């Protein structure tokens, strides 16, 4: 759907998009107690099961044609992780054992085909031969490992562990947390490094404010399922440093900048960055009630989102991003393979979950 809300029914169907839609409607139906949302979740589930999964080689395709034929057959670890996240949420909604079994199959596939002794790898051909990682590389580099994939593998595994309680999943989550704290997090710069070679050498001087603040709450969330106080305390301290750094370097009193590359700040206001920032600051305030600056930042972000980022036109959702002038960027679509009600929908549902007077 383009900026002017024109729907292209012949467009490519990204499997990440489908997984995020499946996750959203599965979670929303539970959070709101609204059974009218279940058919939307079921529709996305059946499309993933029947079209998105490669029954010959395993895993989920990158994208499909509008009528459900394989288009981009790349098998990316990030994509498999989102399918796990979505299938786990659908299982928790419906109790359908097939969904949980598919999620576990994808977990086994990642651990068997998408890892090495150092951690998690990125892109593969349909039959799992190594491929270039253009899809998760940006800013002029080609990364063999990325912070982004590691984060969302942890997210998918956290959802699976929440759904099934498998000790093997817990073990993989602990491995990821070790990589996160020892390899990805840079304590000197109080940020995550973003793009790496195989040996975890950072490829670029880049701070992704959105990913840092997203990690600060999302990794706390997943770590909590493991019920290991020492590990939780260690990781919580890292996450608090991330949140504090983002607040002090990227928040202007109303909204959050996108990223900083080689000292140059990208001042665009991106929809998902604002959603994750609000949630990250709420999370930090809940951990440290004396951090009223985080509370106030979250309140300011809420006002900014509802006044500026939300598309108030009939049928509107959220603008993809705002120019530095504050005007919506009309070159960006309303819906595309990366944009749907995942970040912003999750923000809303996570806020509901955290308020015991509202949570259903």
The tens digit of pLDDT for each residue in 275-285 reads 999 999 999 99
Owner of token pair 């490519």: 12
pLDDT at residue 219 above 60? yes
Q: Nearest Cα to 153, choosing from 111, 203, 186? A: 111
Q: State the pLDDT confidence band at 360, using cuts at 50, 70 and 90.
A: very low
Handedness of CA 266, 267, 272, 278 (dihedral sign): positive
The DSSP bridge partners found for residue 185 are 192
The predicted-structure confidence for 325-353, as pLDDT tens digits, reads as follows 999 999 999 999 999 999 999 999 999 99
pTM above 0.85, yes or no: yes
Handedness of CA 218, 110, 159, 175 (dihedral sign): negative
How far CA 79 is from CA of 48, 116, 211, 215, 313, in Å, comes to 12, 18, 17, 18, 32
Residues 342, 345, 349, 350: what is their CA dihedral angle, to the nearest 10 degrees?
60
Owner of token pair 């107690």: 33
pLDDT at residue 1 above 50? yes
pLDDT at residue 358 above 50? no
Return the SS3 of 65: coil
Handedness of CA 292, 348, 166, 104 (dihedral sign): negative
Q: Nearest Cα to 76, choosing from 110, 132, 23, 123? A: 123
Q: Is 5 exposed, middle or buried (0-12, 13-18, 19+ CB in 10 A)?
A: middle
Q: State the pLDDT confidence band at 264, using cuts at 50, 70 and 90.
A: very high
Give the mean pLDDT of 44-66.
Answer: 98
Give the mean pLDDT of 174-196.
Answer: 98
Give the mean pLDDT of 87-105.
Answer: 98
Owner of token pair 């955290």: 354
- Separation of alpha carbons 171 and 169, rounded Å: 5
Residue 64: which region, alpha, beta or left (left: phi > 0; alpha: psi -120 to 50)?
Answer: beta
Indicate the average pLDDT of the chain.
97
**Every domain of the chain and the residues it spans:** 228-360
- Separation of alpha carbons 187 and 204, rounded Å: 16
The predicted-structure confidence for 297-321, as pLDDT tens digits, reads as follows 999 999 999 999 999 999 999 999 9
pLDDT number for residue 355: 79
How far CA 317 is from CA of 23, 269, 320, in Å, comes to 18, 16, 9
| 142: Cα separation from own chain's centroid | 21
pLDDT number for residue 356: 53
Question: Buried (b) or exposed (e) across 281-302, using 16+ Cβ within 10 A?
Answer: bbbbbebeeebeebbebbebbe
Q: State the pLDDT confidence band at 359, using cuts at 50, 70 and 90.
A: very low
Residue 287 CA neighbour count, 13 Å, CB half: 23
Return the SS3 of 323: coil
Rg of the chain taking only CA atoms, in angstroms: 19
């Amino acid at each position: 759907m383009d900026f002017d809300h024109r729907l292209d029914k012949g467009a490519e169907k990204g499997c990440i998009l489908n997984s995020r839609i499946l996750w959203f409607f599965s979670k929303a139906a539970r959070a709101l107690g609204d059974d009218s949302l279940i058919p939307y979740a079921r529709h996305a589930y059946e499309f993933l099961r029947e079209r998105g999964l490669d029954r010959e080689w395993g895993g989920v395709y990158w994208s499909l044609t509008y009528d459900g034929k394989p288009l981009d057959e790349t098998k990316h670890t990030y994509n498999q992780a989102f399918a796990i996240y979505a299938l786990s949420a659908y299982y928790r909604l419906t109790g359908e054992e097939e969904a949980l079994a598919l999620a576990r199959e994808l977990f086994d596939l990642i651990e068997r085909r998408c890892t090495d002794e150092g951690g998690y790898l990125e892109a593969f051909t349909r039959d799992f031969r190594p491929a270039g990682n253009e899809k998760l590389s940006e800013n002029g580099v080609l990364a063999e490992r990325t912070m982004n994939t590691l984060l969302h593998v942890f997210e998918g595994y956290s959802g699976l562990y929440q759904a099934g309680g498998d000790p093997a999943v817990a073990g993989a989550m602990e491995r990821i947390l070790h990589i996160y704290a020892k390899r990805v997090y840079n304590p000197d710069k109080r940020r995550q490094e973003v793009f790496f070679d195989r040996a975890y050498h950072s490829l670029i001087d880049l701070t992704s404010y959105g990913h840092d603040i997203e990690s600060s709450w999302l990794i706390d969330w997943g770590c909590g399922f493991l019920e290991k106080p020492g590990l939780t305390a260690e990781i919580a301290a890292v996450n608090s440093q991330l949140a504090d750094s983002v607040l002090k370097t990227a928040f202007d009193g109303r909204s959050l900048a996108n990223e900083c590359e080689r000292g140059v700040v990208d001042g665009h206001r991106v929809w998902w960055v604002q959603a994750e920032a609000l949630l990250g600051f709420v999370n930090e305030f809940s951990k440290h009630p004396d951090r009223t600056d985080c509370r106030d930042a979250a309140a300011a972000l809420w006002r900014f989102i509802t006044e500026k980022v939300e598309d108030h036109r009939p049928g509107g959702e959220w603008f993809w991003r705002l120019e530095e002038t504050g005007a919506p960027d009309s070159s960006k679509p309303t819906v595309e393979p990366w944009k749907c009600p995942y970040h912003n929908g999750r923000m809303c549902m996570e806020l509901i979950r955290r308020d015991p007077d509202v949570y259903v």
